[in-house]
Chains A and B, each alone.
Chain A
Amino acid sequence: MISEASAPSPEELGCFLSQYGAWLLGSGSTCIRVEKNINRMAQAFGMDVEITLLPRHLQIAVCRCGRDSVATCLSAVCQTPTSFNIITRLSELSWAIADGRIDFATAKQRFDQIVCSDRQNKTAVLLMVALANASFCRLFGGDAAAMAIVGIATLCGYFLKTVMIERGIDIRAVFIICALVSSILGATGILFPYGSTPYIAVATSVLYLVPGIPFLNSFSDLLHRHYICAFSRFADAVILTGCLSAGLCGGMLLMKIGMF
């Protein structure tokens, strides 16, 4: 445990921990990890902590062990893209604090560094997603032609997604438009008879949009009895899946293809 002289006040710690939790939850961490990491850090500073996790907010009450004055802090969950890099580095930070390797001031500095330095090469991601969806098409039994079509449809759809998200367009509208474009391009094999599995290409062309991580997080929260967060994440994921289906249905309707 860190000595009392270098330990922060409950207010300071509460503020830091609520920010920490807001970033961790916003980056797509499961509720159980948020609880574990925050408790670990609070214990290192000799404090007790109670956490209220809500889908868009996080409330933390901190008090020194055995004393009755409580500091409460409330933070809005950060609306940031899912980032396992942030989750990993914030978890490392929590252990560095718990093991007494860094003091509170350094921890705050490092936290700011972590949340500011999460950069990604967009072109590399675009190519990787296209390749991944093409492989996915293969897993569903698509031939080389279908794989090529799915790769190009994904490339265009994901490129469009990046552009629209940069412009601040509502994520649901983005999903509908991207699914529409990807499914129209995915139907190339049907329009210009090419390859032997054109229908698999259409069906798999939108799979890169399926919100897999929110689905997994929601069920993980459900198993850990964080029902409110679980249902909220599930609702988010279902709405996005609905939008993607709407785009796909639209695309199939325009291209005169039946889904079933």
Chain B
Amino acid sequence: MIVQVLQDALFAAIASVGFAAISRPPRRAYFYCAVIAAAAHSLRFILMSGDVNIVVATAISSFAAGTIAVLLSHTARTPAETCLFPALLPMIPGMYAYRSFGAMVMCILGEREAEFNHYFYLFASNGFTCVAILLGMVAGATVPMFIFKKISFQATR
């Protein structure tokens, strides 16, 4: 289990740094992105291994990520979201998002009622899960910014 958690943390950190590069963070932010992503993703992995729902697990780990990001933002001398948002990228429900679109297309192409119902179910379930994960993720990550408002908006001072 520990090896799996460490592996998850390592690959999440690499994924976060690579995807962060697309949105051009300052160089000093990469290290913090990796640390936050590793902590958050491995926490989510542990929670999901304990049969916690993906939405709840994502919200809790995003809250942890948000707290770490706000506390580290002073050391990193970057706004909290500069380290936080790239760190959340490995948890973005990309697969749910495109599966819901795929199901929608199949829904339109489906000829029989049973086929339509099946794909409509897939479309709705993937779409709802995707939106709920995103909402939980951002809500979880934003709450620490509200709690530590002074720290999070003064990081670049």
Give me the interface of A with B, judged by CB distance under 8 Å: 28-30, 33, 36, 81-89, 91-92, 94-95, 99, 118, 120, 124-125, 128-133, 135-136, 138-140, 203-204, 206-208, 210, 212-213, 215-217, 219-220, 222-223, 241-242, 244-246, 248-249, 259-260
Contact = CB atoms under 8 A, between A and B. Distances in A.
Nearest to A241: B97
A125 B22 contact: yes
Contacts, number: 163
Interface string B58-91: 0000000000000000000111011001101110
B56 interface: no
A153 to B, nearest CB: 14
A136 B24 CA distance: 19
Interface residues of B, number: 54
B50 interface: no
Contact of B88 (A82, A132, A135, A212): A212
B105 A249 contact: yes
Contacts of B153: 33, 36
B116 interface: no
A95 B157 CA distance: 5
A83 B82 CA distance: 9
Q: Is the interface of A mostly helix, strand, loop or mixed?
A: helix
B51 to A, nearest CB: 18
Given A30-B81, A213-B85, A216-B137, A129 B12 contact: no
A231 to B, nearest CB: 13
B35 interface: no
A139 B11 contact: yes
A133 B17 CA distance: 11
Which among B101, B119, B122 has the highest number of chain A CB atoms within 10 Å? B101
Contacts of A129: 18-19, 21-22
Contacts of A249: 101-102, 105
A220 B89 CA distance: 14
Contact of A139 (B15, B81, B86): B15
A118 B24 contact: yes
Given A220-B138, A220-B142, A210 B94 contact: yes
B127 to A, nearest CB: 10
Contacts of A120: 24
A65 B29 CA distance: 38
A115 B41 CA distance: 33
24 contacts: A33-B79, A36-B153, A84-B20, A84-B23, A87-B82, A88-B29, A91-B155, A118-B24, A131-B18, A132-B15, A133-B18, A136-B90, A139-B8, A139-B90, A212-B85, A212-B94, A216-B92, A220-B81, A223-B142, A246-B105, A249-B102, A259-B99, A259-B102, A260-B119
Nearest to A30: B81
Interface string B83-121: 001101110101101110111011000000000000100
B138 A219 contact: yes
Contact of A135 (B18, B25, B105, B134): B18
Contact of A260 (B85, B90, B102): B102
A93 B135 CA distance: 31
A136 B11 contact: yes
Contact of B98 (A87, A138, A241): A241
Contact of A132 (B14, B81, B95, B135): B14
Nearest to B99: A259
Contacts of B157: 95, 99
